[in-house]
Structure 1
Amino acid sequence: MAAAVLFAVSILTIFIAYKLFQRLRYKLPPGPRPLPIVGNLYDLKPVLVRCFTEWAQIYGPIFSVYLGSHLNVVVNSPELAKEVLKDNDQQLANRNRTRMINMFSKNGMDLVWSDYGPHYVKVRKLCTLELFSAKRIEALRPIREDEVTAMVENVFNDCVKPENKGKALVMRDYLGMMAFLHITRLSFGKRFMDSNGVVDSEGEELKAILDGAIQIGSRKSFAEFLPWLPFLFKAENEALAKHDSRADNFTKKIMEEHTLARKRTGNTKNHFIDAMLSLQKDYDISDDTIIGLLWDMISAGMDTTIITVEWALAEMVRNPHVQQKVQEELDRVVGKDRVMTEADIPKLPYLQCVTKECFRVHPPTPLLLPHKAVTDVKVGGYDIPKDSTVSVNVWALARDPSVWKNPLEFRPERFQEEDIDMKGTDYRLLPFGSGRRICPGAQLAINLVTSMLGHMVHHFTMTPPDGVRVEDIDMMEQAGLTTYMRTPVRIVPTPRLSADLFKRVAVGSV
């Protein structure tokens, strides 16, 4: 017992001495006072991005927060975002990987969580030139349109059932299945569902793996902040290892299937797993990198799509004049005797403005993935010590009245008045990040979200459930690193096109 107390006191003394040294040596940004060992963990509110935005009002546009003993600096203005993502891009290009992320990313052998260096540059080149090239995105368009129209057909079939007439549907159910089928077809080249809408055994295994990742990720674990005491978290470590092994086995099995199929036919498909396997030697990438990249795409491609389109549909219900304006544009450009396609999007400028406005007000990753300092660097006149983490609060940027007029108002017209880029060149609007770490799949995400929203507004008039006022719709985010709606939105969809236009536009193998 005495030895344990002595050990704890020693750790506490070392921690306090180190923090005093940091404060004397560096001019750190202001922030809430941290406690020994736990830092500011005791101060954090469940919806982290709202907590940080409130702190920015108190401490200024740049502040420090300690997650355990780790220093995290949060920036909350476009000027500071530019310093982080452009001016000091290379010095802040690494990633801070937690124990869990390190396992899922194969020790940073993927793209999202790899440190900046030769490996990152190589994998980034693969993604930019091969996986997310304009040619491949266009080649994969039939899959997107197939799954979007399948979702519309499912909503239609359910809303016209006699027992459902006038009843509200939970949109997240339809969006979630669409996102699952779409991203798994792009990543694994399989739909995992038969013609009767039944998910097959492989699909059930994949869903179980994804559910397991969500459960692990949602647990509040002090193991991430006390890495020097691993023996206290043996059960958690075992659960992590078991989950990682299960995901590995699933992915390797599908990789082997595709390798054998290519040897038999000599054909390479457009989906990502076939592309990576066929380019593996050219780019000198390991199986671990392929596995890591596939799970990067699945984790990034599912949540962001569901989150953004659900918020967009909620905003359509809360702002019926916006919904009507989109419908008028769709009726004028597409008409009511055919289904819209992605080829129509360039001729639908107001729909594109609605998509932008949704990414502005409801960015799916409100705190961009954290940047880690490669060396000591200055931001906003403050010191950022090597190995500290810097986060850009894009949610706060969207709500800054000095940046946006009436920032809390959902008003797509603001993008008609000023053409603002959302792919990293304008630091007021950064849903996909900027610089070396910008999301390589930004254009794919924009195409998909715009298509899903356009199809839903073209096919249906969406209203709130009976007895629910639009101002009563819960617009709060749920706790977590992404901005899912706290309460899944419920909508009454009323078909506005002829029944024959609600059929799925199925495609074969792409």
Structure 2
Amino acid sequence: MAPLALLLLSLPVFFLLHSLYYRLRFRLPPGPRPWPFVGNLYDVKPLQFRCFADWANSYGPIISVWFGSTLNVVVSSTELAKEVLKEKDQQLADRYRSRTATRLTKYGQDLIWADYGPHYVKVRKVCTVALFSAKSLESLRPIREDEVSAMVESIYNDCTAPGRSAKSLLLRKYLGAVSFNNITRIAFGKRYVDTEGRIHKQGEEMRSIADNRLRLGASRPIAEHIPWLRWMFPLNEEDFAKHAARRDRLTREIMEDHNIARQKTGGAKQHFCDALLTLKEKYDLTDDTIIGLLWDMIHAGMDTTAISVEWAMAELIKNPRVLQKVQEELDRVIGNERVMTELDFANLPYLRCVAKESLRLHPPTPLMLPHRASTNVKVGGYDIPKGSTVHVNVWAVARDPEVWKNPLEFRPERFLEDDVDIKGHDFRLLPFGAGRRICPGAQLGLDMVTSMLGRLLHHFTWAPPSGVSPEAINIAERPGVVTFMGTPLEAVATPRLPANLYQRTAVDF
């Protein structure tokens, strides 16, 4: 018998034995019935978080979903999220990595995709010391405020240009520029997008590398989750090698520039790249780890802030009552003779509630990045075998009608009535995760979202495009690990403050 025919005949036996092993040894959570070989791969809809939420309504708040021969456990309630991320956190803190993620991160040499262990603890401490401590965040405040000012100036110039009155703007263009510049200035001390939207050559290369990473990351689900078939769908190792070489070449050029500058200045300016190079010997950091951490910053910060603000602005334009109320607060606290700064946040409780409510309804990563069980563990009374992938559906948790009154309503007042922590201590709301794998940049992200929203709302009146009612704004999601609006938001901006408050004064750092 030919080897291929023998293999095809043996596959059903492998599948049957594999299925029987799990069913006899473990008490697995309920879930949709898997098909032979492919499991539930072809039952899962593109918006996985919505699909999993629908299945949770049928099978309960903890479900089993099979991607080929890979068991995925999805939890969708506050109690189970707490069990996964706090009570059983240590056993579930490893990271599931696909074949492509393994190659793109050089087997988890960074922070985001590293398994939990000595390397992860070390690099997380480095990131906290170098960038995310309260002292570091305060020292970076001038950069954040400067980039938000640049965004305001750019919008003002475009909406007041001759012939542009009452014409709608594509908001994502401005939000993307401020997010990208903020991250690159924090990481490298460089601004790559100017106020006219032109991008520096090095910035173009950085964006191109980031886009290529997304392309390479789109692996074939069958080959990824059915190991027996991987020989039929091998990864193109040459593509991964070229990508790594291109990324490393650009990053090493930047690192070398920083080494030269540090020698000249004595290390006076401490961008994230400088800080990592300074701490390299103390923490025994390899170049691969430094490069991985720098690109973690780029990938994590380039889109998520812009996504969050775009969702919030869409909800505000759809809800004029809320928009008017937050602008009344800004006018009362800030007035019309100065611009808002982050130091004003403490006196703007409703603005902070608007940011929270938007992150509740539209978390940028609605399915938390996948965890992996490092040992057999029980969750919700069910067995989670070692090696299983575990997801927390933070989108479903934040819309649970058992926890939230009128959960689909955009109502920031709910956070005035109940002060819900947003940074991993209250498991009703988890846009940044919780436990050992909580996003270390949670405070930075929240500050940027609040600052961008405050300035957009203080400086401009916002309305839908001509002929479009607020209710008609499309807030459907686009599939992906991070969830963009499917239809980019267009809106008409009208200045509402004196003209001198729209001029940016550049800040050097």
- Shorter-normalised TM range: over 0.9
Q: Hey, what's the Cα distance between the residues in 1 that align with 2:9 and 2:142? A: 62
Aligned residue type for 2:225 = F
Aligned residue type for 1:238 = E
Q: Secondary structure at the match of 2:95?
A: coil
Match of 2:456 in 1: 456
Match of 2:403 in 1: 403
**Native 8 Å contact 1:97 1:113 kept in 2:** yes
Match of 1:115 in 2: 115
The normalised TM-score by structure 2 is: 0.97
Q: Secondary structure at the match of 1:41?
A: coil
Aligned residue type for 1:266 = G
**Native 8 Å contact 2:75 2:391 kept in 1:** yes
Between 204-213 and 91-100, the greater mean CA deviation after superposition? 204-213
Q: 1:450 to 1:4 in 2, by over 3 A?
A: same
Q: Hey, what's the Cα distance between the residues in 2 that align with 1:464 and 1:218? A: 35
Match of 2:413 in 1: 413
**Native 8 Å contact 2:154 2:196 kept in 1:** no
Q: 1:166 to 1:183 in 2, by over 3 A?
A: same
Deviation at 1:304, TM superposition (A): 1.1
Q: 1:462 to 1:68 in 2, by over 3 A?
A: same
**Native 8 Å contact 1:268 1:278 kept in 2:** no
Equivalent residues in 2 for 1:121-160, closer than 5 Å? 121-160=121-160
Equivalent residues in 2 for 1:109-508, closer than 5 Å? 109-193=109-193, 198-218=198-218, 220-227=220-227, 229-234=229-234, 236-508=236-508
Q: Hey, what's the Cα distance between the residues in 2 that align with 1:372 and 1:357? A: 30
**Native 8 Å contact 1:170 1:491 kept in 2:** yes
Q: CA offsets, 1:93-145, max 9 Å, x none?
A: 10111111112222111111111111111111112233211111111111111
Between 496-505 and 375-384, the greater mean CA deviation after superposition? 496-505
Deviation at 1:380, TM superposition (A): 0.5
The normalised TM-score by structure 1 is: 0.97
Q: 1:195 to 1:335 in 2, by over 3 A?
A: closer
**Native 8 Å contact 2:330 2:458 kept in 1:** yes
Aligned residue type for 2:331 = D
**Native 8 Å contact 1:140 1:271 kept in 2:** no
Match of 1:101 in 2: 101
Q: CA offsets, 1:359-402, max 9 Å, x none?
A: 11100011111111010000001000001011000100111111
Q: Hey, what's the Cα distance between the residues in 1 that align with 2:319 and 2:285? A: 48
Q: Secondary structure at the match of 2:34?
A: coil
Between 217-226 and 347-356, the greater mean CA deviation after superposition? 217-226
Q: Hey, what's the Cα distance between the residues in 2 that align with 1:490 and 1:219? A: 33
Q: 1:195 to 1:412 in 2, by over 3 A?
A: closer
Match of 2:58 in 1: 58
Q: Hey, what's the Cα distance between the residues in 2 that align with 1:245 and 1:227? A: 28
Aligned residue type for 2:171 = M
Deviation at 1:162, TM superposition (A): 2.6
Q: Secondary structure at the match of 1:439?
A: coil
Q: Hey, what's the Cα distance between the residues in 1 that align with 2:154 and 2:5? A: 61
Q: Hey, what's the Cα distance between the residues in 2 that align with 1:374 and 1:74? A: 16
Structural RMSD (CA): 1.6
Q: Hey, what's the Cα distance between the residues in 2 that align with 1:248 and 1:112? A: 18
Q: Hey, what's the Cα distance between the residues in 1 that align with 2:245 and 2:226? A: 24
Q: Secondary structure at the match of 2:461?
A: strand
**Native 8 Å contact 2:74 2:392 kept in 1:** yes
**Native 8 Å contact 1:104 1:292 kept in 2:** no
Aligned residue type for 2:397 = L
Aligned residue type for 1:134 = A
**Native 8 Å contact 2:150 2:195 kept in 1:** no
Q: Hey, what's the Cα distance between the residues in 2 that align with 1:108 and 1:218? A: 18
**Native 8 Å contact 1:139 1:270 kept in 2:** no
**Native 8 Å contact 1:96 1:389 kept in 2:** yes
Aligned residue type for 1:64 = S
Aligned residue type for 1:492 = V
Q: Secondary structure at the match of 1:204?
A: helix
**Native 8 Å contact 1:145 1:505 kept in 2:** no
Deviation at 1:187, TM superposition (A): 1.6
Aligned residue type for 1:205 = E
Q: 1:219 to 1:94 in 2, by over 3 A?
A: closer
Q: Hey, what's the Cα distance between the residues in 1 that align with 2:194 and 2:356? A: 35
Deviation at 1:32, TM superposition (A): 1.0
Q: Hey, what's the Cα distance between the residues in 1 that align with 2:279 and 2:39? A: 45
Aligned residue type for 1:472 = A
Q: Secondary structure at the match of 1:491?
A: strand
**Native 8 Å contact 2:111 2:124 kept in 1:** yes
Q: Structure 2: which 5+ runs fail to align?
A: none
